[in-house]
Amino acid sequence: MVRVEAATRKSQAERRDEAERRLVEATMALIAEEGVSAATFEAIGQRAGYSRGLATQHFGSKQGLIDAVVNYLHERQREDLEAAHVAEMDGLSALQTYVTGFCAFLKDSEQKKSYFMLLSDAVADARDTRALFAQSHERVKTLLADLIRRGQREGVIRADVDAESGALMVGSLLLGLTMQSLIDPALTIAPVEDAIHTHIARSFALETR
């Protein structure tokens, strides 16, 4: 009996996780296709195959919705970096791999597009949700700064590079590329990606790779 009840509880947890994943993915798809205003709880629930009530239950508010989207994307990024085995690379190679993964996601996924559309909406309307994006970008800055410091300890990144400033520089380059791709959907990302890689190597490496 105990085993059956435990299995049932696990199944319920799995169903909750699945529902939230589908709702978040529906949110991002709606935003990418129709804009931020289209992502109502009713539309999200319908797109995901659920009711408005379930979407409201999971997110509760616009802030809860954005928080779920941000966490989903950070988790996917973490999984992608693990799959690329960045922990086994030196800091500089890991930093370049982060850029490669970011650009690949940008080229092939509407999900990152939806994130930056939400960000633009929050900034343009001076909404309280800007704090969620500030926290998200701080997480990225911390990750990149840690990679730079790791590279410095390993002797592949110059010791005089300020890790925090270097992380902000890389993040800003990728943010600018993303915003430009939203303004110009026909933008070819590959040459810009190559230029970012070259700039990082020249700015950080003991010698250009």
DSSP notation for 110-128:
HHHHHHHHHHHHHHHTT-T
Matching CATH number, 61-209, of 1.10.150.110, 1.10.357.10, 3.10.20.30, 2.60.120.920: 1.10.357.10
On the question of pLDDT at 209 being above 50, the answer is no
Give the model's pLDDT for residue 87: 92
Class of domain 1-60: mainly alpha
74-104 per-position pLDDT tens digit:
888 889 889 999 999 999 999 999 999 999 8
pLDDT tens, residue by residue, 133-185? 888 889 999 999 999 999 999 999 999 999 999 999 999 999 899 888 888 88
**Residue range 63-75: mean pLDDT, rounded:** 84
Residue 92 CB contacts under 8 Å (≥ 6 apart), including other chains: 147, 151, 156, 157, 200, 201, 204, 205, 209
> How many angstroms separate the CA atoms of 165 and 144, rounded?
10
Higher pLDDT pick, 122 / 68:
68
**Domain boundary assignment for the chain:** 1-60, 61-209
pTM of the model as a whole? 0.80
- Quick one: pLDDT band at residue 62, thresholds 50, 70, 90? confident
Establish how many alpha carbons lie within 13 A of residue 153's alpha carbon, considering only the half-sphere containing its beta carbon: 9
pLDDT in tens, 20-40: 889 998 988 888 888 888 888
DSSP 61: S
